[in-house]
A and B are shown apart, each in its own frame.
Chain A
Amino acid sequence: NAGVTQTPKFRILKIGQSMTLQCAQDMNHNYMYWYRQDPGMGLKLIYYSVGAGITDKGEVPNGYNVSRSTTEDFPLRLELAAPSQTSVYFCASSLGQRNSYEQYFGPGTRLTVT
């Protein structure tokens, strides 16, 4: 049971480039989330999904897109990368059932945009 996996671990992008951050979970969780973590700012929710085919914006969605075609995968797409998107990105998942709120986080992707 791998839990939540993220690839790549590190990436350097040039301004204007695009990339997809991959996230997968093998716990059959319904809910999945993307956060970004900046120093001293905590974790900010970018997008989340309550099931395959259903996604919604979080606090800071601008510059990002997501899709959820399967229960297991929740990729995050960055279009036209900007220096402001330099951050550590975490994917998380939760069961999505009553009284089961714990979110399980992946190891993160450190992205630098220069």
Chain B
Amino acid sequence: QQQVKQSPQSLIVQKGGISIINCAYENTAFDYFPWYQQFPGKGPALLIAIRPDVSEKKEGRFTISFNKSAKQFSLHIMDSQPGDSATYFCAASMTPWETSGSRLTFGEGTQLTVNP
């Protein structure tokens, strides 16, 4: 079964702290791992994504760390800000895109609260 497990379910961090959200997957055919950010009342939006040929990808304060042998990847938010308060979803997909339809399997979500 294609599953992606995400933890923690909720996370409270102080402003300026580091937020860390973890995901684990089972299907070794997954080769695209995005993180989506969702604000209340809105649809999810792509935040950052990684392919398994690299172990880390950084975009501003957001970093994905990827461990292929452990089948785990994580999102790190440095210098967390109240505006980062949202629900974060990890996801996974597989190529070839022609047959997979670029379908995403999502984790359960993490509700992040950054206190001022």
Contacts and interface: CB of A to CB of B under 8 A. Distances in A.
A74 interface: no
Q: Which 7 A/B pairs are nearest by Cβ-Cβ distance?
A: A105-B43, A42-B106, A42-B108, A43-B106, A102-B46, A50-B101, A105-B44
Interface residues of A, number: 28
B41 to A, nearest CB: 8
Nearest to B1: A59
B68 interface: no
A101 B30 CA distance: 13
Contacts of A103: 46, 102, 104
Interface of A: 4, 31, 33, 35, 40-45, 48, 50, 56, 58, 90, 92, 94, 96-98, 101-108
Given A35-B106, A50-B101, A90-B43, 18 more contacts: A40-B108, A42-B6, A42-B109, A43-B89, A43-B106, A48-B103, A90-B44, A92-B43, A94-B102, A96-B97, A96-B102, A97-B97, A102-B34, A106-B43, A107-B41, A107-B43, A108-B42, A108-B43
Interface in B28-65: 32, 34, 41-46, 49
B32 A101 contact: yes
Contacts of A107: 41-43
A53 to B, nearest CB: 14
A40 B9 contact: yes
B106 A48 contact: no
Contacts, number: 60
Contacts of A33: 103
A98 B100 CA distance: 12
B10 to A, nearest CB: 10
A45 B93 CA distance: 12
A31 B6 CA distance: 26
A80 B113 CA distance: 38
Contacts of B42: 107-108
Contacts of B104: 43, 45, 103
16 contacts: A31-B101, A31-B102, A40-B9, A42-B109, A45-B104, A48-B101, A50-B101, A92-B43, A98-B97, A101-B102, A103-B46, A104-B45, A105-B43, A105-B44, A105-B45, A107-B42
